[in-house]
């Protein structure tokens, strides 16, 4: 948001903040959300690198295409362990996973 706009909103009594403040997230909750989003982005990156469709990855995982889409978009119903299992299924090794998590 542009500085002019922020100042204008503050003058009118609005508070400017981010998602963490708006949702009142603890640092741990914020870290978990960021980790899930990072894992999902990397799942999509590796899937596309292999020229796999979401349906092909779903078949490997014995899941559905819509579930893969949810994983890639960071849907809250997706667990971290499922994201990690999916990354391993598309060929990510432990060392690469550690690098992804360390981002």
Long-range CB pairs of 58-62, under 8 A, 24+ apart, other chains included: 60/89, 60/90, 61/85, 61/86, 61/89
In tens, the pLDDT along 13-49 reads 888 878 788 788 899 999 999 999 999 999 999 999 9
In a domain, 55, yes or no: yes
- What percent of the chain clears pLDDT 90, i.e. is strictly above it? 74
In a domain, 95, yes or no: no
Angle at 92 between CA 52 and CA 66, to 5 degrees: 45
pLDDT confidence of residue 85: 96
In a domain, 11, yes or no: no
Do the beta carbons of residue 87 and residue 46 sit within 8 Å? yes
In a domain, 51, yes or no: yes
Number of domains composing the chain: 1
Do the beta carbons of residue 36 and residue 83 sit within 8 Å? yes
Give the residue carrying structure tokens 């903040």.
17
In a domain, 66, yes or no: yes
In a domain, 2, yes or no: no
Report pTM. Answer: 0.80
Question: The domain that contains 65 carries what CATH number?
Answer: 1.10.260.40
Give the residue carrying structure tokens 């999902």.
40
Ramachandran assignment for 4, one of left (phi > 0), alpha (psi -120 to 50 degrees), beta (any other): alpha
pLDDT band at residue 103 using 50, 70 and 90 as cut-offs: confident
Write out the residue range of the structural domain in which residue 59 sits: 21-86
In a domain, 38, yes or no: yes
R_g of the chain, CA atoms, integer Å: 18
Do the beta carbons of residue 86 and residue 61 sit within 8 Å? yes
């Amino acid at each position: 948001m542009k500085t002019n706009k922020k100042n204008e909103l503050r003058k009118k009594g609005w508070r400017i903040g981010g998602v963490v403040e708006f949702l009142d997230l603890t640092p741990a909750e914020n870290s978990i959300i960021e980790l899930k989003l990072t894992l999902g982005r990397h799942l999509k990156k590796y899937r596309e690198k292999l020229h796999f469709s979401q349906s092909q990855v779903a078949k490997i995982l014995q899941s559905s295409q819509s579930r893969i889409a949810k994983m890639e978009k960071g849907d809250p119903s997706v667990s971290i362990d499922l994201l990690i299992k999916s990354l391993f299924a598309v060929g990510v090794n432990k060392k690469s996973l550690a690098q992804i998590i360390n981002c």
